[in-house]
């Protein structure tokens, strides 16, 4: 399967009824602050609280019955783990999730709540990959990667597909970039319907491998990434990068303090709980008002899974950064 | 003008385009917790962050041009003040808001941001009423009360009208009760379309004058009310109470700790910022699962204006209760 605009349309049909068609909300105050018309696609209101549900549902529902019966597996301590567990449960197949010993108890509980089996390993990439290989060999489960996968990219692109179909005449679409599943899918969906629209990735300054990779013209790994955006610390994927190179207008990097300010604005002004990674699109818009002036700008709020006891503007949260 | 179902339909037509048609959201986790199908009407996503915008817009747009030209006035330090200021600005008429010296700076700034003139007075009801009379005498402005007013009741009823039209076959509609503008309007709208539906008011245990008034069969004032629900401390209104007596199935009282737990669930599970007064409907549902079991339950999340530095589950917020 190659991933293109048609693959996103097919994914949208496949996952219809398995995901929420999330609302698009607006805010007059934020419009004034940016000097543009902003349309927020609320993937924080998606099942499991993040767009990751779209890709996971598409991957799980794409499996042939003889594959699916053996279940699915991945390594993740983030939103992809919950999404895959939830999608597997909906199809009635087993899921194995490899998580590091350092994963917060609340994340383990969420995955276990969907009936997935958790396999704990040391918190290194080598241990995670070795443990995953062992699980796949033992069970016959299909590995579903978090972003470097055509089924995942196609699924994530359905958020922008809904947005662009609902809001006519967008000039810009902004979304976060970590591994690039959402950004690649967003670019394919948006440019498929609006060839002249500009798709922009928003990336933390402290995890700017995609911006650096675009500047160099080849994929660079994230080196010792540090950011309050815990969902955006991964390196851009092999399948994701060429799509981003071809279809994305720019990647704008944003310092953490601007991300936190944008996150607080979303809580205060839009009454939405958005995680730091989810607020970075608004933060990027607020840092680029000259370019966006007068435009119609779609912004994907990618997720809302945040520790409510450690909100980043509270003094007690200081240790998180 | 008398207030009845037709008045709500007329209000909905009058304020169309001046308010947000807010989304109705669902949550599988909360459905499981209550054992019913819950439909949340998100008035926290309304303009100014609360349903109060509906009544204020209806009142302001109901004024004849020769009245409107003199402007509007009220006394309030809460959401009604912001809503009236916003509605007046939209019509291009002046607004005077009497606020006590104790009103938080952030609330004064919000009202001033809509171009309203703030008149400060001592924090007593007598001082507020005297100051308001003086303002009205001086300016000729029309007093728009926060809840004890037919135009306000009709406007607030439009939230339930939208909900009942959008979600077929509701068995129950739950909403907060303070002064009773929202509850009276909700009862008129709901029972007008669904004569057999049960409308329930949710009231803080520490401000239970409506529940006590219904039990006695006559209106009692709130005596020294205390609750984390700062929007629900007022006594039920003279025009509101007979409507509530006639059309409301019950008023369920809820202790503050259950309100705070429900508020946190809405943040965590639905990714919605809801103020304590806005979360009390869910808190009441969670305390009455036996009655609601298997039903289709509409819940109005009435507002989302909350101090993000003092969320009630954080240790630092302890002094607020």
Supply φ then ψ for residue B50, to 5 degrees. -165, 155
Q: Nearest CA of chain B to the CA of A110: how many Å?
A: 11
Residue B64 vs residues B69, B114, B246: alpha-carbon distances, Å: 9, 22, 31
Chain B residue closest in CA terms to A28: B47
Supply φ then ψ for residue A298, to 5 degrees. -85, 135
Residue A165 vs residues A24, A194, A224, A296: alpha-carbon distances, Å: 11, 10, 39, 14
Q: Helices B5-15 & B150-166, crossing angle to 10 degrees?
A: 80
> What is the structure's pLDDT at A317?
52
Select which of A41, A47, A52, A107 is catalytic.
A52
Residues of A in contact with B271 (CB under 8 A): 44-45, 49, 272-274, 304
Residue whose C-alpha is closest to residue A187's, from A1, A12, A3, A2: A3
> What is the structure's pLDDT at B78?
86
For residue B13, is pLDDT > 50? yes
Q: Report the pLDDT averaged over residues A227-249.
A: 96
For residue A171, is pLDDT > 50? yes
Supply φ then ψ for residue B100, to 5 degrees. -70, 155
Q: Which residues pair with A75 in a beta bridge?
A: A98
> What is the structure's pLDDT at B316?
65
Q: Nearest CA of chain B to the CA of A172: how many Å?
A: 24
Contact yes or no for B25 and A44 at CB 8 A = no
DSSP A115-127: TPEEEEE-SSHHH
Banded pLDDT at B317 (limits 50, 70, 90): low
Chain B residue closest in CA terms to A314: B309
Residues A245-282: tens digit of each pLDDT: 999 999 999 999 999 999 999 999 999 999 999 999 99
Rounded Cα–Cα distance for residues A187 and A240 (Å): 10
Start-end ranges of CATH 3.40.50.1100 in chain B?
5-51+149-315, 53-143
Do B297 and B174 contact (CB within 8 A), yes or no? yes
For residue A318, is pLDDT > 80? no
> What is the structure's pLDDT at B103?
85
Read off the tokens for A261. Answer: 């300010």
CB atoms within 10 A of CB B18: 18
Tell me how far apart the terminal alpha carbons of chain A are, to the nearest angstrom: 40
CA angle (B169 as vertex; B295, B303 as ends), nearest 5: 75
Residue B261 vs residues A103, B228, B287: alpha-carbon distances, Å: 25, 12, 12
> Over the Cα atoms of chain A, what is R_g?
18
For A168-189, letters b (16+ CB in 10 Å) and e give: eebbbbbbbbbbbbbbbbbbbb
Q: Decide: residue B97, CB within 10 A, 0-12 exposed, 13-18 middle, 19+ buried.
A: buried
Rounded Cα–Cα distance for residues A27 and B31 (Å): 29
CB atoms within 10 A of CB A75: 25
The highest-level CATH class for domain A5-49+150-316 is alpha beta
Q: Which residues pair with B174 in a beta bridge?
A: B200, B299
Banded pLDDT at B319 (limits 50, 70, 90): very low
Read off the tokens for B71. Answer: 């402007």
Residue whose C-alpha is closest to residue A228's, from A156, A125, A314, A101: A314
Rounded Cα–Cα distance for residues B254 and B285 (Å): 10
> What is the structure's pLDDT at A320?
41
To probe the interface with B, which of A270, A271, A274, A275 has the most B CB atoms within 10 Å? A271
Contact yes or no for B308 and A23 at CB 8 A = no
Start-end ranges of CATH 3.40.50.1100 in chain A?
5-49+150-316, 53-143
Q: Report the pLDDT averaged over residues B83-95.
A: 97
Read off the tokens for A25. Answer: 């909300």
Contact yes or no for A273 and B274 at CB 8 A = no
Residue whose C-alpha is closest to residue B198's, from B102, B71, B288, B93: B288
For residue B312, is pLDDT > 60? yes
CB atoms within 10 A of CB B236: 31
Q: Which residues of B participate in catalysis according to the annotation?
A: 52, 302
Contact yes or no for A309 and B304 at CB 8 A = no
Give residues with Cβ within 8 angstroms of A219, minimum separation 6.
A213, A235, A236, A238, A241
Contact yes or no for A267 and B273 at CB 8 A = yes
ipTM of the complex: 0.93
Q: Is A213 a catalytic residue?
A: no
Residues B205-216: tens digit of each pLDDT: 999 999 999 999
For residue A319, is pLDDT > 50? no
> What is the structure's pLDDT at B217?
97
Architecture in CATH for domain B5-51+149-315: 3-Layer(aba) Sandwich (3.40)
Give the CATH number of domain A53-143; options: 3.30.420.40, 3.30.70.580, 3.40.50.1100, 3.90.180.10.
3.40.50.1100
> What is the structure's pLDDT at B227?
96
Rounded Cα–Cα distance for residues B157 and B151 (Å): 10
Residues B221-278: tens digit of each pLDDT: 988 999 999 999 999 999 999 999 999 999 999 999 999 999 999 999 999 999 999 9
Residues B124-145: tens digit of each pLDDT: 889 999 999 999 999 999 999 9
Residue A284 vs residues A206, A262, A289, B122: alpha-carbon distances, Å: 14, 9, 9, 44
> What is the structure's pLDDT at A321?
39
Residues of B with CB under 8 A from a CB of A: 23, 25, 28, 44-45, 47, 49, 264, 267-268, 270-274, 304, 308-309, 311, 313-314
Q: Nearest CA of chain B to the CA of A309: how many Å?
A: 7
Rounded Cα–Cα distance for residues B8 and A106 (Å): 45
With tokens 């509609």, the residue in question is B173
Q: Decide: residue A215, CB within 10 A, 0-12 exposed, 13-18 middle, 19+ buried.
A: exposed
Rounded Cα–Cα distance for residues A41 and A57 (Å): 19
Do B164 and B185 contact (CB within 8 A), yes or no? no
Q: Can you tell me whether residue B111 is helix, strand or coil?
A: helix
**Average model confidence (pLDDT) across chain B:** 95
> What is the structure's pLDDT at A190?
98
For residue B104, is pLDDT > 90? no
Chain B residue closest in CA terms to A42: B271
> What is the structure's pLDDT at B320?
41
Q: Report the pLDDT averaged over residues B152-181.
A: 98
> What is the structure's pLDDT at A95?
98
To probe the interface with A, which of B20, B47, B271, B276 has the most A CB atoms within 10 Å? B271
Give the residue, A149 or A78, on which the prediction is more confident.
A149
Do B296 and B170 contact (CB within 8 A), yes or no? yes
């Amino acid at each position: 399967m190659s991933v293109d605009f048609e693959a996103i349309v097919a994914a949208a049909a496949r996952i219809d009824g398995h995901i929420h068609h999330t609302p698009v909300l607006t805010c007059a105050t934020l419009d004034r602050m940016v000097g543009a018309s902003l349309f927020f696609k609320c993937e924080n209101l998606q099942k499991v609280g993040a767009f990751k549900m779209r890709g996971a549902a598409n991957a799980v529902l794409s499996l042939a019955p003889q594959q699916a019966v053996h279940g699915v597996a991945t390594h993740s301590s983030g939103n992809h783990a919950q999404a895959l567990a939830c999608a597997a449960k909906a199809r009635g197949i087993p899921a194995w999730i490899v998580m590091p010993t350092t994963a917060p108890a609340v994340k383990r509980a969420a995955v276990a709540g969907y009936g997935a089996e958790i396999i704990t390993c040391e918190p290194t990439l080598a241990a995670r990959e070795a443990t995953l290989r062992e699980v796949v060999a033992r069970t016959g489960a299909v590995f579903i990667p978090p972003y470097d996968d055509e089924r995942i990219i196609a699924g994530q692109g359905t958020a922008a597909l809904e947005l662009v179909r609902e809001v006519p005449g967008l000039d810009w679409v902004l979304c976060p970039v970590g591994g690039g599943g959402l950004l690649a899918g967003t670019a394919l969906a948006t440019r498929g319907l609006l060839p002249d629209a500009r798709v922009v990735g928003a990336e933390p300054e402290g995890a700017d491998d995609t911006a650096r990779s675009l500047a160099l013209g080849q994929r660079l790994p994230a080196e010792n990434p540090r950011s309050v955006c815990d969902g955006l610390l991964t390196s851009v994927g092999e399948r994701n990068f060429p799509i981003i190179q071809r279809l994305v207008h720019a990647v704008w990097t944003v310092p953490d303090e601007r991300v936190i300010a944008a996150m607080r604005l979303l809580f205060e002004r839009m009454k939405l709980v958005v995680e730091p990674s989810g607020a970075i699109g608004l933060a990027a818009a607020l840092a680029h008002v000259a370019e966006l002036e007068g435009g119609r700008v779609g912004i994907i709020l990618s997720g809302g899974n945040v520790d409510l006891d450690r909100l980043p503007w509270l003094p007690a949260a200081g240790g998180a950064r």
